[in-house]
Amino acid sequence: MSMTLKRLLARFAGPAVLIGSVLVAVLIGAIMLVALGANPWTGYKALLSGAFGDADSLADSALKAMPLLLVGTGITIAFRAGVINIGGEGQIIAGALLSTMTALALPDLPRFLLIPLLLVVGAIGGAIWGGIAGALKAYAGVNEILSTIMLNIIAVQIMNLLLRGPLIDPGEIERGSRIPQTERLTENADFPILPGGTRLHLGVIVAIAGAVAGYILLFRTTQGLRLRAVGHNPHASRYAGMPVKRNVVSALMYSGAFSGMAGVALVFGSLGHRLATDGGATTFTGAAGFNGIVAALFGGLHPLWTIPASFLFGGLLVGANAMQRAVQVPAALILALNGLIVVFVVSSIRVRERLATWASEMRVTDEPPDSESHEAVLDLPPEAPG
């Protein structure tokens, strides 16, 4: 096999495996549609049209992708540092609650000051919620999967308590309906609508900027190098003098901060411009805390690749509703189809890792045998003269 062909295989094998896993999931979904008496061609055509058929559909897909991208960027940072953050739901709620209380306390603050403040406050809320799990893991040995899931439940109950008490809309009390929601938040906090005549708002720009910031943090800063080193080998990092425990806490705080900003975007970019719930998390979050994990994995745990991955997955969620209306299938089938894609995408990770290892080994063996190239491969500084 020629060197050029091997390099092409190394470069495109990973994406091919990812695309192939999605196609297999779609094929199984088609079989399920046939079993229910629906036409797969009609169903998938409606899905694509509903997700990407016109400007409004594209805008809806982008808005659905917005929280997935922010959560996915945070998930990428955590996973790169060797910790698994399943607490996106709770961190979204923490950021939403803190920013909502800020908007209620400062309704007359000008928009150009209030919106940046809300994003910062939301990031702080999510960072605190993520930092709790990080501290429990680093200093008490508590498994972060367990702690983040438990913190999700706690965040939901705190939201329910506040929206049925201190934060409830006074009008709901007067009418006696007592729907758990805040009053209509100040217009100064509304995310501006972007030009183009669609529902796109500032939150989409914030999400893309957040992904770029996540990339810079991970791959262009010393802090990012430490996080990735700890995730790659904590024992070697500790031997090199890196504060492993502190970096574990930092990773979950960074991850939570991005999810907290997703909570801000969901509140102040919503149609109702208020925080509302029915007692569960998904009514408010739309399961973005969990779907963001899929978007991050789909993007290869890279912040920039998470941008198109989130858009594609957001389009899938939007288009699935159109498919349900077109072929009259149960809503459970749509959940099953999404679950199939998650299973196959996650299952393909090990194959992609092996391909990446094979590609890196091949690059090493293909390098010309001179000292300069070996130094580049090993990432070692050249020896001092003499």
pLDDT score recorded for residue 256: 97
The long-range contacts involving 97-100, CB below 8 angstroms and separated by at least 24 positions, are 97/125, 97/155, 97/158, 97/159, 97/162, 97/263, 97/275, 98/122, 98/124, 98/125, 98/260, 99/125, 99/260, 99/263, 99/264, 99/267, 99/268, 100/167, 100/182, 100/185, 100/267, 100/275
Task: Give me the domains of the chain, ranges plus CATH numbers.
Answer: 20-33+56-363 (1.10.3470)
Task: Say which residue, 323 or 364, is predicted with more confidence.
Answer: 323
- What secondary structure does DSSP assign to 244-256, as a single string? HHHHHHHHHHHHH
For the chain, the average pLDDT equals: 86
Q: Is the dihedral of CA 341, 205, 269, 301 positive or negative?
A: positive
Task: Say which residue, 226 or 8, is predicted with more confidence.
Answer: 226
pLDDT score recorded for residue 14: 63
Question: Where does the pLDDT of residue 226 fall: very low under 50, low under 70, confident under 90, or very high at 90 and above?
Answer: very high
Mean pLDDT of 132-156: 96
Residue 20 has pLDDT above 90, yes or no: no
Task: Say which residue, 314 or 121, is predicted with more confidence.
Answer: 121
Question: For residues 154 and 149, what is the distance between their CA atoms, to the nearest angstrom?
Answer: 9
Residue 384 has pLDDT above 50, yes or no: no
> Of how many residues is the chain composed?
386
* 57 in Cβ contact with 51 (< 8 Å): yes
Question: For residues 295 and 76, what is the distance between their CA atoms, to the nearest angstrom?
Answer: 10
Q: Is the dihedral of CA 46, 48, 50, 54 positive or negative?
A: negative
Question: Where does the pLDDT of residue 340 fall: very low under 50, low under 70, confident under 90, or very high at 90 and above?
Answer: confident
Question: For residues 338 and 32, what is the distance between their CA atoms, to the nearest angstrom?
Answer: 13
Give the least confident one: 88-92, 180-184, 327-331.
327-331
Question: Where does the pLDDT of residue 9 fall: very low under 50, low under 70, confident under 90, or very high at 90 and above?
Answer: low
What residues pair up with 181 in beta bridges, in sequence order?
A: 276
Question: Where does the pLDDT of residue 377 fall: very low under 50, low under 70, confident under 90, or very high at 90 and above?
Answer: very low
Question: Where does the pLDDT of residue 376 fall: very low under 50, low under 70, confident under 90, or very high at 90 and above?
Answer: very low
Question: Where does the pLDDT of residue 47 fall: very low under 50, low under 70, confident under 90, or very high at 90 and above?
Answer: confident
Non-local CB neighbours of 374 within 8 Å, separated by 6+ positions? 367
Question: For residues 166 and 95, what is the distance between their CA atoms, to the nearest angstrom?
Answer: 17
Which parts of the chain fold into alpha helices (H)?
3-35, 40-52, 55-80, 88-105, 111-140, 144-163, 170-175, 202-219, 222-232, 234-239, 244-268, 282-285, 288-298, 306-327, 331-366, 371-378
pLDDT score recorded for residue 143: 95
Question: For residues 342 and 296, what is the distance between their CA atoms, to the nearest angstrom?
Answer: 11
Give the least confident one: 73-77, 78-82, 122-126, 366-370.
366-370
- pLDDT tens track for 231-271: 999 999 999 999 999 999 999 999 999 999 999 999 999 98
pLDDT score recorded for residue 366: 56
Question: Where does the pLDDT of residue 383 fall: very low under 50, low under 70, confident under 90, or very high at 90 and above?
Answer: very low
Question: For residues 360 and 254, what is the distance between their CA atoms, to the nearest angstrom?
Answer: 29
